[in-house]
Structure 1
Amino acid sequence: MAGNLEPTTALSDALVILGAAGIVIPAFARFRITPIIGFILVGLVVGPFGLGSLVPQYPWLYHITISDPAAIAPFAEFGIILLLFEIGLELSFNRLWDMRRLVFGLGAMELGVSAFLLSGVLLFTGLQISGAFGLGLALALSSTALVLPIAGTHGPVGRAALSMLLFEDIALVPIIFILGAMGPVAAHSDGPTLGETLLYGGIVVAVLLVGGRLLLPRLFAQAAQTKSPELFLAATMLVVIAAALSTSLVGLSPIMGALLAGLLIAETEYHTEVESITKPFKGLALGVFLITIGMGIDLRVVWAQIGPLALAVIGVVVLKALVTMFALRAMGKERATALEAGILMASPSETTLIVLTTAAEASLINRETAQFWQIVTAIGLTITPLLAKLGETWGQRVAKTSADAGQAVPVEEPEGERVVVMGFGRVGRLVADMLTVHGAPWLGIDSDPRIVKSARQEGRPVLFGNVDSEAAIARLGLDDAKAMILTMDEPVLILRMVKKLRATHPDLPIIVRARDAAHAAELYKAGASHAVPETLESSLQLSEAVLVDLGFPMGLVIASIHEKRDEFREQIMEEGGLEEKPRLKSGSLRERSA
């Protein structure tokens, strides 16, 4: 009987985790809510402080609860390792070198000032200096696992967050050693010293860097030749786990090894395939980590100490947000970026739990204090998506104010007959450039205040406005417009806009960006004058480039591309059961602007 218990427990826990993934992700995506909150709530419900506590009274609950939280902890740690590996894949050594000022300047400032101020506040609660210092360092850390999936790594907020989080990950090892050395039991410890760990760690990192550059291209080339996705995945996991184990064996964090593995693979031509093949596993493993966070929250303890816990959470969040905002402003970042990144980075981290455990084992803080701040950390992680939304909203308001101020820059805005370009991202900017080349006056509108401010600083006539707002559309004076061009990459919004514009302006030429042929057919039904499917246009441009390179005359190639485009349009209209509409003639804009 005892021999069958362990597999049953493992299968039961796996059922709960996979069931949570299958239910939480689609359900929360439907309501446009991050699944991060969903996974934490699942852990809260099915954990030992939720339904798991009722298993003795109701044994059937055993099959839908997680009976041994410690058993899934290694999978949660593996999720963090895969996350850092994915971050490494998105970076490169050149990009990391370019970020050195932010990593060691901004990152050190944010962590150091936050830890100093938090330690100072904690001294007034009655803690000793060593305990306050340990807690301050722990609470100053921010969550890599939650912040980067929310912010990404390419935008201004994502780059700022990435630089600070990278420094925190690097600083984690010396923090743990310093706290261990400060404890009263440190004198009796036979473990390696900080110097020995850094020495051995440096040797391991150097071996990984040199060996990775020499071996990884050959390893993945052999895996790619087999054309077996399974072997490619196995080679990837081998590299990640070997790198993580190598750094952990010498006392460094395993996530440092995972980050190095990602950086090394990012330098090879196989990084795109590796990223796509590991992404589903990272998401599932991260879900397991979030479930463990939820399982650590005991609502009865929270309710019994609701006042002190709320005060602690608010205090940590506000103080860290202010410090991060001031640090970002000191490094020259815009107010909107500083505000959004500051609020996003305000909650504690999963590594806070590691540092708290270290401080407790070193007797810097007692177990009750550690448990209190562990609950604070769990609550802080839970509200991170809400903080992200709050920061985004406030950041957009600040950016809008800056954009409105930027609109005071003298930019000549064409009046009367003009082309209106709605959406001034990559596609809208290119369309506007082509209109300028041919002398057609145009006016742009976008709902992103950063884009508007940047465009107006360049002297472009772009206005801020919610493209789905009737008031914003009324400002554009569409009665005299030559054409309306919709360039946003939001199929549902574009479809709604076409219906609205066609109802109010039946004679206005409306040219829209379509996702594919099916989307184009829907847009034609809604009243679009011309819908341009991205998938078809990319194939036509590819065909044009190939034919020209093969030596065919440019004029004949362009003529054939136009004929094929007309065929596609007629086919889309026929499949949608629509009658052919009069097209916007190629010379009409030039003729009407003359």
Structure 2
Amino acid sequence: MEEQHALPYLRETLLFLALAGIFIPLLQRLKVNQVLGFLAVGALFGPFGFGLWAAEFTWLRYFSFVRAEQVSGLAELGVMFLMFMIGLELSTERLWALRRWVFGAGVGQVIVSACLVGAVAYYVGLSLEASIVLGLVLSLSSTAVVMQLLAEQRALQTPSGQAGFSILMFQDLMVVPLFILIDVFASGRSDDLAYLLGFAALKSAGAILLIYVLGRRVIRPLFQFFVGKRQPDVFMALTLLSTLGIAGLTYLAGLSMALGALLAGLLLAETEFRHEVEVIIEPFKGLLMGLFFMSVGMQIDVREIVKSPVWITLAVLSLFAIKTLVTASIFRLGGFPWGRSVASGVLLGQGGEFAFIVVAYALGTRLIAPEVAQFVMLVVGLSLFATPALAKAARGLGAWWDRRHRHQLADLDAGAAPPAGGVIIAGFGRVGQLLAKVLTQQDISYVAIENDARLVTTLHPRGFAVYFGDASRAELLQKVHADRASAVVLTMDHPASVLHAVRSIRRAYPQLPVYARARDEAHALALVQAGATLVVPEALEAALQLTATVLQTAGVSEARAFDIVQAERDRRNAVLLAQQHP
């Protein structure tokens, strides 16, 4: 009879904490990647490792996880808190700015990858329905693994990192239609497919919008009311309530709980409590993420690998090859050089954690055979295991390729040393280039930061001091010696990007002058309230210049027209300053 505890899974919890506190640090001292370490520990101490001999040697039960489902619930919490932390790093404006990658690149990657993988499955003898489902399942990548690796590389806020995250976002949205598709194929209602998928999409969009709108009206007042003294225990309780509560609402709406956790992070990112929440959650997120990776490692049955090592190896490599080709092509079309595109493709080349859930569901409906399900799960598990090493190799190879073909991005993260003490220009379009030209003529040093890869690779070889990156990243601002700069000038086209950069710069460098280009007066007011030193609204300046021309045409002298326009400019600027210092 199995031993019972008052606390469920007490033995498994103690074993995990022992492994996380002792064994994993030992692997890290040996320079083993943290993701690889947890995956290896899961495989070694899981049901297909030491667990195989637990029945014969009872003492092994204290040093092994006999059943993977014993930690699967906690592993799901790990994924949720990863998505929650991602949401804290973003904002709704920033997410909307990524819509081209989410719904453009994301759709293209899923459709093309699913067609290619599904064609291979159909060729080896699977039914058309099973091939379609497996094609879609294997087109999805692992949000948990990719985001962990991007965080380790400090690449999440880079343009390529955000492009990859955008594709992962769309992939997460594909889980609900996948379940509907399996139900339709299993029941034979293929004629209703378009209607059911369309209805699911509308339902999902409506649920997300409703949860977000209601959440905005509840989250901030809730925190403001209960955390007047910033007690850590109250912060923790409210954070857990927000994360799990919204995740539960999305689950009731038929969506993934991970998506709900992301929404919770987005909602808290817009409040003044964001940084306190980040500090409190960070240690727990690492432990829960470790549980997730260990649960994935527990799915790897080494015995099956030994039975057919060639086919399994070919399947894993083929999956990486297909998805890398598709994703790298999309990144290249988006303006990234081939080396970085291929590195990003390899990073997204594995199977996703949702494959374990979806394939098990398809197996339950008898859409796929048990041996096929086992094979697919093993391929996905091994692809997750191989990702850190393959991604590291691809990153190095990609950098070498771009250097050799002179398409390397002038990337501040790659160790460039821009001049210090001058002007920092964020955004190097027409306005930024004009400003750089004038500064150069006056012998004033500058360094420009631009997140359009194609523009950087075009202009940097021509002698412009423009580098690839995101001006809102604190570590990148340190590289350009923002503490010794005379000013930062924000000339980006996208209003949300300018606003996010103003907030980040002002938070890190309170005394640094920040001059910003605004789209209109409403945008200018938001920038001033965020801490911009001086804001120039494009629409206002264009209107004032046009007014001066009209006045002169109507007979007003040039000097008088200039005084009138300047008086109106001063009046508008005074309104903005009054808003900043009420």
Q: Does the alignment reach a TM-score above 0.5?
A: yes
| Contact map agreement 1:347 1:380 (CA 8 A) in 2 | yes
Aligned sequence identity (%):
33
Counterpart check, 1:459 vs 2:463:
yes
Residue identity opposite 2:95 in structure 1 = L
- Paired residue secondary structure (1:383): helix
Amino acid across the alignment from 2:463: G
Taking the aligned partners of 2:162 and 2:173, their CA distance within structure 1 comes to 17
CA distance in 2, matches of 1:68, 1:324: 36
| 1:7 to partner: Cα distance | 4.3
Partner of 2:402: 399
Aligned to 1:327: 330
Question: Structure 1 residues 64, 99: CA separation in 2 closer, same or farther (over 3 Å shift)?
Answer: same
Show the counterpart of 1:10. 9
Whose Rg is larger? 1
Deviations 1:449-481 (A, max 9, x none): 999968844625899xxxxxxxxxxxxxxxxxx
Structure 2 vs 1, CA of residues 329 and 456 (structure 1 numbering), >3 Å: closer, same or farther?
Answer: closer
Report whether the alignment pairs 1:273 with 2:265. no
How far the C-alpha of 1:224 sits from its partner, in A, is: 2.8
CA distance in structure 2 between the partners assigned to 1:280 and 1:139 by the alignment:
31
Q: Specify the code of the residue in structure 2 equivalent to 1:344.
A: L
| Residue equivalent to 2:176 | 173
Aligned to 1:430: 420
Paired amino acid for 2:108: M
Q: CA deviation at 1:265?
A: 1.1
**How far, CA to CA, are the matches of 2:202 and 2:409 in structure 1?**
52
Q: Which residue of 1 aligns with 2:232?
A: 229
SS at the partner of 2:227? Answer: helix
Greater CA drift, 395-404 or 230-239: 395-404
**Structure 1 counterpart of 2:525:** none
Is 1:339–1:394's contact at 8 Å kept on the other side of the alignment? no
Is this contact kept in 2: 1:148–1:161, CA < 8 A? no
Q: Is the 8 A contact 1:406 1:457 kept in 2?
A: no
In structure 1, what is the Cα distance between the partners aligned to 2:477 and 2:223? 38
Instruction: Report the counterpart of residue 558 of structure 2 in structure 1.
Output: none
Cα RMSD of the aligned pairs, angstroms, is: 3.7
Write the distance in 2 (CA, Å) between the matches of 1:391 and 1:307.
23
Aligned twin of 1:129 = 128
CA contact (8 A) 1:488 1:513 kept: yes
- Structure 2 residue 348 is matched with structure 1 residue 349: no
Q: Secondary structure at the match of 2:398?
A: helix
> Offset of 1:61 from its aligned partner?
1.6
C-alpha contact (below 8 Å) 1:85/1:259 kept by paired residues: yes
Matches within 5 A, 1:295-374: 295-374=298-377
CA deviations over 1:335-392 (Å, ceiling 9, x no partner): 2221111111111110122221232223221111001110000000101101210221
Equivalent AA in structure 2 for residue 224 of structure 1:
V
Query: For residues 7 and 248 of structure 2, what CA distance do their matches in structure 1 show?
Result: 29
Query: Is the contact between residue 422 and residue 444 of structure 2 (CA under 8 Å) also seen in structure 1?
Result: no
Query: Equivalent residue of 2:129, what SS?
Result: helix
2:65 match: 66
Report the counterpart of residue 561 of structure 1 in structure 2: none
Question: Offset of 1:201 from its aligned partner?
Answer: 4.0
Paired residue for 1:240? 243
Distance in 2, Cα, partners of 1:423 & 1:488: 13
CA distance in 1, matches of 2:285, 2:28: 18
Q: Which amino acid aligns with 2:300?
A: I
Partner of 1:390: 393
In structure 1, the gaps of 5 or more residues are: 408-421, 443-448, 464-486, 491-511, 515-537, 546-594
Letter in 2 for 1:43: G
Equivalent residue in structure 2 for 1:250, among 243, 253, 265: 253
Sort the Cα spacing of 1:97 and 1:67 in 2 relative to 1 into closer, same or farther, 3 A: same
Cα distance, 1:176 vs. partner?
Answer: 1.6
Shift in Å, 1:155: 1.3
Match of 2:218 among 212, 215, 220: 215
1:293 aligned residue (291, 296, 314) = 296
SS of residue paired to 1:349 = coil
Q: CA deviation at 1:84?
A: 1.2
CA distance in 1, matches of 2:167, 2:99: 11
Q: Kindly indicate whether the alpha-carbon contact (under 8 Å) linking 2:78 and 2:289 is maintained by their aligned counterparts in 1.
A: yes
Alignment of 1:481-520 (within 5 A): none
Q: Assess if the C-alpha contact under 8 Å between 2:177 and 2:200 holds in 1.
A: no
Distance 1:196 1:226, change over 3 A: farther
**Local SS of the residue matching 1:365:** coil
1:109 Cα deviation from its structure 2 partner: 0.4
| Matching residue of 2:267 | 264
Q: How does 1:125-204 map to 2 (within 5 A)?
A: 125-151=124-150, 152-184=155-187, 197-198=200-201, 200-204=203-207
Helix, strand or coil: the match of 2:300? coil
Is the partner of 2:174 in helix, strand or coil?
A: helix
Q: Residues 383 and 62 of structure 1: is their aligned pair in 2 closer, same or farther, counting only changes over 3 Å?
A: same
The Cα shift of 1:314 comes to: 1.0
Aligned equivalents of 2:7, 2:78: Cα separation in 1: 23
What residue number does 2:87 align with? 88
Q: What number of residue pairs does the alignment pair up?
A: 451
CA distance in 1, matches of 2:145, 2:444: 46
Q: Could you tell me how far 1:97 is from its partner in structure 2?
A: 1.0
Asked if the contact 1:197–1:250 (Cα under 8 Å) also holds between the matched residues in 2, the reply is no
Structure 2 gaps, min length 5: 425-438, 447-452, 468-475, 484-505, 514-582
Task: Tell me the TM-score normalised to structure 1 length.
Answer: 0.69
| Residue type of the alignment partner of 2:298 | M
For 1:5, what is the secondary structure of its paired residue?
Answer: coil
Write the letter of the residue equivalent to 2:47: P
Partner of 1:43: 42
Distance in 1, Cα, partners of 2:39 & 2:82: 17
1:33 alignment partner AA: V
* AA matched with 2:220: P
Normalising to structure 2: TM-score of the pair? Answer: 0.70
Provide the residue aligned with 1:21 in structure 2.
Answer: 20
| Corresponding residue of 2:435 | none
